């Protein structure tokens, strides 16, 4: 079942990555508790659209989210913590965007937003989407159609918050 607006985020776990590659494993329900969070998810670190458009947009405009009352901007991908740390460092994300490693796709599966990209050699990954979560409850959710990059872009999300 796919998560929808009005649902609470599941307690599935992911890692909040630090620049060294490790981080704290936390339950999503705890990560989102008491905060207003923009979460954007994408198929994979270092992939073309993710590296050239998706993450860079949020890094460049992170402060604008803070001005609109967002406590945390977070990027989630089905990659291990070391890959997310290296990618976050390469992109200048640390201190602006929280990098979340969903290495086993636990969160991705729990919210029902996974996709099998085995045909492209990528295995099971996250769909591209953006959601706003307020104190653990999804208030907006925009999932991209396959191959698109529109509704989950930084500019599209900024217009909604």
Contacts 24+ apart (CB under 8 A), 140-143: 140/5, 141/3, 141/4, 141/5, 143/113
Judged by average pLDDT, the poorest of 77-81, 122-126, 129-133, 145-149 is 122-126
pLDDT of residue 121: 67
Residues 79-95: pLDDT tens digits? 999 999 999 999 999 99
Write down the pTM of the prediction: 0.93
Assess whether pLDDT exceeds 90 at residue 147.
Answer: no
In order of their start, the domains of the chain are 13-160 (3.40.30.10)
Residues 32-76: pLDDT tens digits? 999 999 999 999 889 878 888 899 999 999 999 999 999 999 999
The reply to whether 50 belongs to the active site is yes
Instruction: Name 126's Cβ contacts closer than 8 Å, sequence gap at least 6.
Output: 41, 42, 43, 76, 77, 78, 102, 105, 108, 113, 114, 115
Are 149 and 54 a contacting pair, CB within 8 Å?
Answer: yes
What integer is the mean pLDDT of 24-35? 96
Assess whether pLDDT exceeds 80 at residue 123.
Answer: no
Are 6 and 81 a contacting pair, CB within 8 Å?
Answer: no
pLDDT of residue 97: 98
Residue from 17, 37, 50, 76 carrying the catalytic annotation = 50
Assess whether pLDDT exceeds 80 at residue 21.
Answer: no
């Amino acid at each position: 079942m796919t998560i929808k607006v009005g649902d609470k985020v599941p307690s599935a776990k992911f890692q909040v990555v630090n620049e060294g590659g490790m981080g704290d494993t936390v339950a999503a329900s705890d990560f989102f508790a008491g905060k207003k969070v923009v979460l954007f998810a994408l198929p994979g670190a270092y992939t073309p659209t993710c590296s050239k458009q998706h993450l860079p947009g949020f890094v460049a405009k992170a402060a604008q989210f803070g001005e609109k009352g967002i406590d945390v901007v977070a990027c989630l991908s089905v990659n291990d913590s070391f890959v997310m740390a290296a990618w976050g460092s390469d992109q200048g994300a640390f201190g602006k965007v929280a990098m979340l490693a969903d290495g086993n796709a636990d969160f991705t599966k729990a919210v029902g937003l996974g996709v099998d990209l085995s045909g492209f050699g990528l295995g099971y990954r996250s769909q591209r989407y953006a959601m706003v979560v307020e104190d653990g409850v999804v208030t907006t959710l925009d999932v991209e159609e396959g191959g698109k990059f529109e509704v989950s872009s930084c500019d599209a999300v900024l217009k909604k918050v």
